[in-house]
Amino acid sequence: MYIPKPVRAFAALIIALFMLTALSACADGEASVTINRNGSADMNVKLLVSSSALEQIGRSDLMSRLIDRLKADGLNAAPLQENGRTGLTVSKHMDPEDFRHNAALPKGVTMSRTSAPGFWTTKEHISVTVDPAAMMPTQASGAVAKLENLSPLLKKFALSGFNFDLKLTLPIKPDSSNADHISGNGRTLTWNIAPLQPNTFDLTVSVPNIRHIAYAGGASLIALIALVVWLIVRVRRRRRKQL
C-alpha cells in the first residue's frame, strides 16, 4: 500500500510525538485533515510540549530540528510558543495530482481498503492501524518498555499529560466509523490518540457515482422534455378539432 510523500512526512512528525511521550509523557495538540470535494486535501498540525520537559530529557533543540526536516519534505512548518510551552505548526495543501507520486507506508502503519460498487454509489471501507511501538526508533524502545511495564494506575498517571487528537473532515457524511467524537453535521470525525497501543481508524463512506447519476439525470431530463412536447402536441390537436 502507498501514500504520498507529504503524508509520510506527517508520519515522521507523529513518530517524534510518540518519542516525546515515551521520554517525557507530555504532549498536547491536534492533527486535522480536510478532504475537499475536488479531491484535494488540507493538512494541519499543532503540537505543544513543555519546554522544561524537553530540557530535562536533553532535547531542547528537538522542535527546531523537526521543523527543518519537515520543511525539507515540502511542508510549511513554523515554531510556536504558548504559555511556557514550545511547539510547532505544520500545514500542507495537496492537489489530486500529488497523490500520484507515492511513497511506501512507514513501518508500524498498515492500511486496508475495500470497494463495493453500486449503480448510484460505491461503498468504500478504509481501515488504518498505527502502532506507535513499531514506529519507534531503537533508541526510544527502552523508554517505551519502561512505560509499558508500569502498573495500570502509574501508567495512567504518567500519560495524563498526553492529549493529541486526529480530526478528519470529509466532503460527505460517512456511513459509519469508530471515531470517538463526531461533529460538523456528521462530516468531521475525531479520534483520541493512544500513545502506547495500536490506534485503528475505521470508516465506511458511500461515494456517489457521478457518471451514473449524470446519465440517469440526462435520461430523466430527456423523458421530461419528451413528455412536455407530447403534451403540447396533444393540446394543439384538441384545439384544432374544436375549431
What's residue 184's pLDDT?
92
Question: Does residue 68 register a pLDDT over 70?
Answer: yes
What's residue 29's pLDDT?
82
Question: Does residue 189 register a pLDDT over 90?
Answer: yes
Mean pLDDT in the chain? 73
What's residue 178's pLDDT?
95
What's residue 190's pLDDT?
94
What's residue 224's pLDDT?
60
CA–CA gap between residue 243 and residue 241 (Å, rounded): 5
Question: Does residue 10 register a pLDDT over 80?
Answer: no
Q: What is the mean pLDDT of residues 112-124?
A: 86
Question: Does residue 179 register a pLDDT over 90?
Answer: yes
> pLDDT higher for 185 or 70?
185
Share of the chain above pLDDT 90, in %: 11
Per-residue pLDDT band at 1 (split at 50, 70, 90):
very low
Q: Kindly write down the DSSP assignment for every residue of the chain, as one continuous string.
A: -EEEHHHHHHHHHHHHHHHHHHHH-EEEEEEEEEE-TTS-EEEEEEEEEEHHHHHHTT-TTHHHHHHHHHHHTT-EEEEEEETTEEEEEEEEEE-GGGGGSEEEPPTTEEEEEEEEE-SSEEEEEEEEEE-HHHHS-HHHHHHHHHHHTS-HHHHHHHTTEEEEEEEEE-SS--SEE--SEEETTTTEEEEEPPTTS-EEEEEEEEEE-HHHHHHHHHHHHHHHHHHHHHHHHHHHHHHHHH-
Highest mean pLDDT among 77-86, 138-147, 169-178: 169-178
> pLDDT higher for 134 or 4?
134
Question: Does residue 103 register a pLDDT over 70?
Answer: no
What's residue 230's pLDDT?
62
> pLDDT higher for 198 or 54?
198
What's residue 183's pLDDT?
96
pLDDT tens profile 122-132: 898 998 888 87
pTM over 0.85: no
Question: Does residue 207 register a pLDDT over 50?
Answer: yes
